[in-house]
Amino acid sequence: MFCRLFNSHNKVTNFRKLFVKCVNDNIQRPYSSITHKENEVELGDSTLAAPNFAASLKTRSRQERLREDRILPFSSFLTDNFGRRHTYLRISLTEKCNLRCQYCMPEEGIKLTPRGQLLSTSEVLTLARLFVQEGVDKIRLTGGEPLIRPDVVDIIAELRKLEGLKTIAVTTNGMNLARLLPKLKDAGLDLINISLDSLVPAKFEFIVRRKGFHKVMEGIDMAIEMGYNPVKVNCVVMRGLNEDELLDFVALTEKKPLEVRFIEYMPFDGNKWNFKKMVSYQEMLDHIRQQWPKLEMLQTGHTDTAKTFKVEGFKDGSLKVCLFGNSEVSLRDVLRSGASDEELLQIIGAAVGRKKKQHAGMFSISQMKNRPMILIEAQLTHTDAQGRATMVDVGGKVPTRRTAAARAIVILGPTAFRLLRDNQLVKGDALAVAQLAGIMASKQTSALIPLCHPLPLDHISVTFDLDELQNATVITATCSTTGRTGVEMEALTAASVAALTLYDMCKAVSHDIIITDIKLVRKIGGKRDFHRHP
C-alpha cells in the first residue's frame, strides 16, 4: 500500500493532555494511526497533563453491524447515539520519547508527569479487559514512544490472553524496533505502524534532533522479513521540509510490502495555527498523479474517512482524515476511586454517547478553545505616500528568469573548525544540516520576512568552502525563479539561516563564533543585473 494520508494536528502547548489527539498523536508523532474502516471517539482527562491512557474507539461499517445483529447483541455502552459501534481502543503507555522531533516537543524534552499519576500495568490490563468484554476487538499501543516502556512485551502477552481481542497493534518511531521485534512477535503483536518523515539520513536527523535513521530502516526491513504485511509507514508531510519526497516514498512500495500513509500536517505554532506550512491532501494527490496519472481511487464504505488508491503494479493505499474533539474523561481517577466495572461502563457509555455525528473541519478546529487560528497577515511589501502599508502590484511585469546569489562567512575558531572539517561534531554532520536548513529557509522567505512576495523557486543550492587560514566556512546560496520579481531575499535568507545553523551545531564547542559579511554577490534578471566585485 502506498499512501494513507491523514489530516492531523501538531500539538505544542497542549500535547500533554491525558488523551492526546492527533499529529503528534500522544506525542509519539503527528499522526493518528487508525485504520480507514473506523471512526474515532476519544476519552481523556482534561484536568491532568499526563498522556497515560489514550483511549480511542472506532466504529464498524453498517454492513458489519447488520451481519452481527443476527449473532450477538453489541454493548450499549460502546454504541453512540447514531448507532455506531466503537470497537477499536488506543492506549498510551508512556509520555516519554527517545526522539525530539521539531514539530513535537522541545529539544530539552518535557517535564514528566509523576510516576504515580501514570496507569500501572495492572490498571492498563483492567481497563483493556473491560473494553474487550464490551466488544472492543482491536487495541493499539501508543505513547510517547511505547517501546521504551520496560514492560511493553509483558503487556502485549497479557492482552493476547483476552478472549475476543483479535488484533494488537503498536505505533512506534522504530528506534528500538529491531531489537525488540522477535519478543514482540512471540508475545502476540499483530500490526506495526512506524513513523518515518524522511528517506534522507541528514534530513531525518534534522527533524528528530537525534541520530538513528539506519535503526529505523533496520526495524522496517526486519518487520518485513518476519512476515508483517503490510508494514505501515507514517509520513507527516510538511511544506519546505519533505514534500519533495512524496514520490520517493511511493516508489518504496513497488517492491516492498509497505503501506505508506501520508499525513496532512496541521501546523500548530505557539498555540496558533499556521496554514502556510501545510501541504493539503489535494496538493499531495495532484503531485502523485503527475507521476502516476492512472492512479485509481477505490471504493470504500460510507462510514470511511479514509480514501483508498491503487497504482497499477503497486498495492493499494488510503488517505484518512484524522479526528479531533475536546470531550475527555479520566478513567484512571474513576478506577482508583474503587469504582465497579458497571460504574466504569456507565462513564464510558456517557462519553461515547456525547460523540458528535461528525468531526469539525480544520478551520473549525483551529477556532476551538485554546487553539486560536493565527491571524492571516496581509502581504506588506512597501508603503504608500502616506506611510501606510501596501502591496506593490507586480502583475503587469513580464515573468523572466531571475537568479541571485548571497554569501555569509562563519568564523569558527580552530577547535570548532577542525571538528567541522573532520565531521566529528557530537551533534552530527553540521554542513549537511546547515545545507538543508538553508534550502528550507529560502522556501519560507515570504513567511519569515513580511515585505517579500512569495515566489516559486526553480532551483536552490547551498554550498560551503572551508577557509583553513581563517578557520572559517564561506557559505554561498543561489536561488533561481521564473517570475515577476527577484530572488535576492531568498538567497540572503538561505545564506543567513545556514550560517545560524552552523553556529547552533558548533556552539557546544565554542561560543566565540562570528557570523559576518552577509551580502548579495550577484543578481541576474529584472531591470538590471548586479555583480559585486571581489
Does the annotation mark 221 as catalytic? no
Coil, helix or strand at residue 353: helix
Q: What is the pLDDT of residue 508?
A: 92
| Residue pLDDT, tens place only, 8-28 | 333 332 322 222 223 333 323
* Rounded CA separation 274/373 (Å): 8
Provide the pLDDT for residue 396. Answer: 63
With a cut of 70, which residues of the chain have pLDDT below it?
1-73, 266-275, 298-308, 315-330, 354-396, 534
318-331 pLDDT, tens digit per residue, is: 444 343 444 456 67
Find out whether 266 and 280 touch, Cβ atoms under 8 Å: no
Bridge-based pairing state of the strands 138-142 and 88-92: parallel
186, 504, 512, 517: which one is catalytic? 504
Residue-level pLDDT at 273? 52
φ, ψ for residue 200, nearest 5 deg: -100, 115
> Distance (Å, rounded) from C-alpha 317 to C-alpha 279?
19
At 145 the pLDDT is: 93
Per-residue confidence (pLDDT) for residue 69, from 0 to 100? 45
How confident is the model at residue 329, as a pLDDT?
62
The phi and psi torsions of 170 (rounded to 5 degrees) equal: -140, 140
Phi-psi region of 362 (alpha: psi -120 to 50; beta: other; left: phi over 0): alpha
* pLDDT at 212 (0 to 100): 93
> What global pTM score does this model have?
0.57
Q: What is the predicted pLDDT for the residue at 370? A: 39
Residue 424 CA to residue 311 CA, distance in Å, equals 43
Looking at residue 48, its pLDDT comes to 27
